[in-house]
Amino acid sequence: MIATLEEINRHLTTEADGSYSAVYDAYHLKTAFQPIHQVNGDLFGFEALVRVFNECGDELNTEPFFAPEYYDETDQVNMDRLARVIHVKNFAQFFASYALFINMVPDALLIHSKNVPASLLHQRLTALGLKSEQVFFELLEHDCSSNIELLDILQQMRAQGMKLAMDDYGVKASSECRARILQPDLIKVDRSLLADFLSGQESPLRKVVGLGRELGAKLLIEGVENAAGLKVARMLNADYIQGFYLGRPQLLSEILLSRVS
């Protein structure tokens, strides 16, 4: 299992545009970013997403690489760790004045924390010129093998200044129960709740808005695909919005190329 900086660096590559990517076995991992806006339209930050390519340069479906039914625990954790490293390095180099959202699989976080405690993660962020307060770790909707361990690790990370976001609220384990246990700084509402609201089923989305206010959590509505979705987010006084209407995920290389052109 990849643990030390020396081991990590052996997998990293520098692209012609100065960005970082990683090679693991026959796969090439690259960073994509999707913008996150304040509800008034101002840019707030970026969600980092991994894109996986084969040796021929073809983009592959990402989901299997982080699912236990396809890859064993070691491969999952290694790829998760490499993805996080290139995301942070790329963000620090090109978007350091904004907020960074990084996805975390709960069980991968448990394993990762055994090798990289919160204090060391804080040091690595500082070494890159970032403040811990800029970083939101998005806890994905997967179940966790030990909620007690998860809560302890998240408390350590937050004590170092890092933020906790609950991803895809309303799907699988991203539930009211988890929100009340973890007390996240931010709740990302799954796109399905906005779609339901727009089709006339308003209660689920209104309920999570109330929960967020009760817990003192900021609210981000995902899946804003059109003007109607934006109007709902503003009407409900959401704090942040994300979706294709505001910006699609783009490979970092494409973003940098558009800057030049």
Q: Name, in order, each residue with C-beta under 8 angstroms of 247's C-beta and a sequence gap of 6 or more.
A: 34, 35, 37
pLDDT at position 70 over 90: no
pLDDT tier, 66 (very low <50, low <70, confident <90, very high otherwise): low
pLDDT tier, 44 (very low <50, low <70, confident <90, very high otherwise): very high
pLDDT tier, 69 (very low <50, low <70, confident <90, very high otherwise): low
Mean model confidence pLDDT for the chain? 93
In angstroms, rounded to a whole number, what is the distance separating the alpha carbons of residues 147 and 152?
9
Mean pLDDT of 97-115: 89
Q: For strands 186-189 and 163-169, give the pairing.
A: parallel
Return the minimum-mean-pLDDT range out of 142-146, 173-177, 246-250. Answer: 142-146
In angstroms, rounded to a whole number, what is the distance separating the alpha carbons of residues 202 and 127?
45
Q: Name, in order, each residue with C-beta under 8 angstroms of 212's C-beta and a sequence gap of 6 or more.
A: 187, 218, 219
Q: Is the model more confident about 108 or about 137?
A: 137
Q: Which CATH superfamily is domain 5-260 in?
A: EAL domain (3.20.20.450)
Query: What confidence score (pLDDT) does residue 5 get?
Result: 87
Query: What confidence score (pLDDT) does residue 68 get?
Result: 63
Measured CA to CA in angstroms, residue 251 lies from 20, 49, 182 at distances of 12, 9, 32
Return the minimum-mean-pLDDT range out of 15-24, 54-63, 168-177, 225-234. Answer: 54-63
In angstroms, rounded to a whole number, what is the distance separating the alpha carbons of residues 258 and 260?
5
Q: Is the model more confident about 209 or about 120?
A: 209
- Does this model's pTM top 0.75? yes
Q: Name, in order, each residue with C-beta under 8 angstroms of 98's C-beta and a sequence gap of 6 or more.
A: 43, 44, 45, 46, 134
